[in-house]
Amino acid sequence: MRVLSGIQPSGRLHIGNYFGAMRQHLQLQAENDGFYFIADYHALTSGPKPEDLRQNKLAVAMDYLALGLDTNKTVFWCQSDLPQVTELCWILSCVTPMGLLQRCVSYKEKIEQGISPNHGLFAYPVLQAADILIFDSNLVPVGADQKQHIEVTRDIAGYFNNTYGETFVIPKEHILESVAVVPGLDGRKMSKSYNNTIEIFEPEQSVKKKVMSIVTDSTPVEAPKNPDKCNVFALLKLVSSKEELAEWEKKYRQGGMGYGQAKKRLAELLIEYFKPYRKKRAELEQNADYVRKVLQEGAQKAKAAAQKTLERARKAVGID
């Protein structure tokens, strides 16, 4: 199966990114034909500063490589290195109904978050469809709340195939293993836009400081506590063994334990979890040219696959 996924370089990656998607992307590469890319064209919709975008692209690449992305099994590149994608995006735009885009929830959500509306944000699903269809992707891993993105891609491919004949492989969504929303420091979903994140490769002292600042309720130390409503416990679920987690749940429900104890242990576990990857990440920071070379070589492989699909589409519409 060919599996495709992209991630925006909109900031330093955090543990919500990792446990929500990245970990499973890395697991899927073992038994599938992986195509993973850094979605820098998509990132432009939020108007990043040019230098920030350059730095974030390189940082995302380093993070993925440090965490175990295997370039012998997975093609890894930057979206902007493939002009074939933007050409296909235009071709697909010409068969995409306005009504389909107007129904997309993600555009409405972005506007509600205060992002200034622009055509790129509105037409985002068409570029996303081009990303997926140009590689004859079979599976696209997404969270359950992102299923509409793949449904739109399937619709666009269907409109094209019905108009010009069978041209594109119709992809299927691969719903990622259910992971409860990773809470941020303030209890909301961990997100760069909320400034409530713990970065994957954040300095250890900073990790400790942030964990100790996680918002909790005012339940007294001696009183029982509900682990199901605690942000600290929700994060402990991600990095604790089943046995240790059971012990923490028991302590919560019995009372006599302060949240500070749980926070201290959470900081230790987070640092311990990512410690094996820190050395590799530090090595990559000292060898940025190697990282750029990996992306360039990945782009060449991706172009070869993309060109074949683009030629089919061009021939189908009569501009070959």
Residues with catalytic function? 110, 189, 192
Residue 201 parent element (H or E): none
DSSP-derived pairing of the beta strands 74-78 and 139-142: unpaired
Alpha carbon of residue 34 to chain centroid: 15
The C-alpha R_g of the chain, in whole angstroms, comes to: 22
Contact 173, 142 (CB under 8 A): yes
What's the CA gap between 288 and 297, in Å, rounded?
Answer: 14
Give the residues across from 289 on adjacent strands.
none
What gap in Å lies between CA 296 and CA 309, rounded to an integer? 20
Which amino acid appears at position 258 of this protein?
A: G
User: Which burial class, exposed, middle or buried, applies to 101 when counting CB atoms under 10 A from its CB (0-12, 13-18, 19+)?
Assistant: middle
State the Cα angle at 176 between 119 and 241, rounded to 5°. Answer: 135
What is the pairing mode between strands 74-78 and 33-38? parallel
